[in-house]
């Protein structure tokens, strides 16, 4: 039996693993094969302290992994289907295997939201994407549409200008939600154009994406924009479906915790983007991970 099982291999989970193994707890981190940390969908991280020139997201995660492994963190792979309490133990169920633990830290993060319009599912992987780092190089010298006005949309639009001929950002309002620094960079980038107060109605094409149909929300006028790629960055959905009924979630599905990362279930803690919080960053995920581990230790000590 483990002392701590961590579900999720992003910054929150890895830091929980680092702190737990350094506390000499028997600790297993279960990493999904299908869900990836949001951290690696960004090419370069510029706001994690200690790296004055920034660091590639993959390298940062690899370094966190190496550090935790060095202190004895064990890894398993698979998607957790649920967990149940048996006496003082939690049984964590994967597709083909169960693990037992005194405590569980849920650090499953969040995944990109879908727009739910015609053509989105049909052209997914054939022009529609939710990850610029993964798919950006496929759009060399092509026209791209980006949807969203948050940090992700702007950061990824700027990244996509490395490859694309032109990037058009379509936003449903006339003000961006993104950090001012990213706004300044996007506004001064010659390859980026904005379409304000507009929403996507449809993504169309034949073998791949050929364009989008847009509606101006102020004038109600519809128009078409030809493009080869559509990148959707309209926010996140927490990866918490498997928790339904076990711990308290808010209306959007985020896990409700107290300041010490305790959930409504005894022995279950949550950390990172899957938790209800106001600021989702790598540094806040790391901080959650450390706190969740500390709270798990205190819980085990009784």
Q: Which of 62, 98, 134, 250 is catalytic?
A: 134
CA gap 40, 56 in Å, rounded? 8
Min dist CB 98 to ligand NAP, Å, is: 33
Question: Which residue's CB is nearer to ligand NAP, number 30 or number 132?
Answer: 132
- Asked if residues 143 and 226 have their Cβ atoms less than 8 Å apart, the reply is yes
Question: Which residue's CB is nearer to ligand NAP, number 106 or number 147?
Answer: 147
Residue of the chain from 280, 287, 290, 300 that contacts ligand NAP (CB under 6 A): 280
- Segment interacting with ligand NAP (CB under 6 A) among 48-56, 65-73, 228-236, 246-254: 228-236
Enter the tokens of residue 173: 């309002």
CA gap 138, 149 in Å, rounded? 23
Q: Which of residues 135-174 bind ligand NAP (CB under 6 A)?
A: 147-153, 155, 172-173
- Asked if residues 146 and 160 have their Cβ atoms less than 8 Å apart, the reply is yes
Q: In what order do the strands lie in the sheet with 222-226?
A: 198-205, 209-216, 222-226
Question: Which residue's CB is nearer to ligand NAP, number 93 or number 281?
Answer: 281
> Active-site residue 134, yes or no?
yes
Query: Interface with ligand NAP includes 253 (CB under 6 A)?
Result: no
CA gap 180, 224 in Å, rounded? 30
Checking DSSP bridges between strand 89-94 and strand 80-86, what pairing results, if any?
antiparallel
The whole-angstrom distance between residue 14's C-alpha and the CA centroid of its chain comes to 15
DSSP annotation of 275: B
Question: Which residue's CB is nearer to ligand NAP, number 30 or number 282?
Answer: 282
What would the x/- binding string for ligand NAP be over residues 230 to 249, using CB under 6 A?
Answer: ---xxxx-------------
Min dist CB 65 to ligand NAP, Å, is: 21
Question: Which residue's CB is nearer to ligand NAP, number 32 or number 42?
Answer: 42
Query: At CB < 8 A and 24+ separation, what contacts does 252-259 make?
Result: 255/106, 259/291
> Active-site residue 124, yes or no?
no
- Closest listed residue to residue 30, CA positions, set 65, 5, 4: 5
Question: What are the residues whose beta carbons fall under 8 Å from the beta carbon of 57, sequence distance 6 or more?
Answer: 39, 40, 41, 42, 43, 44, 45, 133
Question: Which residue's CB is nearer to ligand NAP, number 64 or number 234?
Answer: 234
Min dist CB 19 to ligand NAP, Å, is: 23
The footprint of ligand NAP on this chain (CB under 6 A) covers a number of residues equal to 21
Min dist CB 90 to ligand NAP, Å, is: 29
Query: Interface with ligand NAP includes 274 (CB under 6 A)?
Result: no
> Active-site residue 131, yes or no?
yes
Binding-site ranges for ligand NAP (CB under 6 A): 42, 47, 115, 147-153, 155, 172-173, 177, 199, 233-236, 280-281
Which residues are marked as active site?
131, 134-135
């Amino acid at each position: 039996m483990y002392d701590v099982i961590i579900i999720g291999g992003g910054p929150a989970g890895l830091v929980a693993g680092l702190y737990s193994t350094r506390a000499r707890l028997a600790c297993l981190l279960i990493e999904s094969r299908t869900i990836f940390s949001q951290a690696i969908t960004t090419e370069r991280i510029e706001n994690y302290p200690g790296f004055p020139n920034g660091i590639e997201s993959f390298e940062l995660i690899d370094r966190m992994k190496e550090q935790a492994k060095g202190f004895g963190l064990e890894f398993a792979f698979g998607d957790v289907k649920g967990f149940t309490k048996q006496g003082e133990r939690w049984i964590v169920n994967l597709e083909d295997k169960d693990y037992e633990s005194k405590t569980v830290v849920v650090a499953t993060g969040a995944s990109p939201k879908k727009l739910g319009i015609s053509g989105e599912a049909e052209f997914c992987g054939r022009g529609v994407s939710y990850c610029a780092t993964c798919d950006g190089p496929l759009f060399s010298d092509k026209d791209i549409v980006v949807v969203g006005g948050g940090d992700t949309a702007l950061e990824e639009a700027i990244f996509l200008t490395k490859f694309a001929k032109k990037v058009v950002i379509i936003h449903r309002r006339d003000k961006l939600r993104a950090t001012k620094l990213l706004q300044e960079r996007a506004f001064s980038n010659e390859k980026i154009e904005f379409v304000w107060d507009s929403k996507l109605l449809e993504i169309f094409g034949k073998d791949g994406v050929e364009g989008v149909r847009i509606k101006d929300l102020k004038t109600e006028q519809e128009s078409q924009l030809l493009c080869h790629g559509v990148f959707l960055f309209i926010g996140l959905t927490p990866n918490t479906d498997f928790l339904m009924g076990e711990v308290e979630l808010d209306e959007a599905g985020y896990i409700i915790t107290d300041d010490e990362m305790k959930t409504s279930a005894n022995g279950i803690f949550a950390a990172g983007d899957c938790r209800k919080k106001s600021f989702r960053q790598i540094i806040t995920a790391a901080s959650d991970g450390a706190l969740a581990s500390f709270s798990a230790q205190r819980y085990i000590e009784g």
